[in-house]
Amino acid sequence: MSEFTEHLHEVFTLFGPVSARKMFGGYGIYHDGVMFGLVTDDTLYLKADASNRDQFLARGLGPFEYEKNGKRIALSFYLAPEEILEDPEAARAWAKKSWEVARRARSKRGESQRRRD
């Protein structure tokens, strides 16, 4: 695990315990079993939806994108504001919103799965 990823335990100390799990050449960042962040190339992205996306966009913070079969794919994880790496209060606020987004998304997936069963 990179030093950057390890440092996120300290960054989110006011938010609560976080863990990192290797995935897709990076790491998923979890709190209470819910993935609210993504680290790739020592860059942190946070989960977003309609409830908080404008906060990222207003700061010029775009989504995590990758290329697949010649097409650009954008995920619902947006570049985290740099100040959260040094400001525990800001880190807690941004993490809380992204965690709530991720929790809602997980609940919706669960409902959708139950309807299909």
Does residue 82 form part of some domain?
yes
- pLDDT of 113: 45
- Edge-first strand listing for the sheet containing 34-40: 19-23, 26-31, 34-40, 43-47, 71-79, 63-68
Question: Which residue, 104, 79, 89, 67, is CA-closest to 12?
Answer: 89
Does residue 64 form part of some domain?
yes
The count of domains in the chain is 1
Does residue 116 form part of some domain?
no
Does residue 97 form part of some domain?
yes
- How many Cα atoms are found within 13 Å in the side-chain-facing hemisphere of 110? 6
Does residue 117 form part of some domain?
no
Does residue 89 form part of some domain?
yes
Residue indicated by tokens 């609940």: 107
Containing domain of residue 92, as a range?
Answer: 3-111
- pLDDT of 114: 45
CATH of residue 86's domain is 3.30.1460.30
Which pTM was predicted?
A: 0.89
- Residue-by-residue pLDDT tens, the chain, 117 positions: 889 999 999 999 999 999 999 997 899 999 999 999 999 999 999 999 999 999 999 999 999 999 999 999 999 999 999 999 999 999 999 999 999 999 998 877 654 444 444
Does residue 42 form part of some domain?
yes
Does residue 46 form part of some domain?
yes
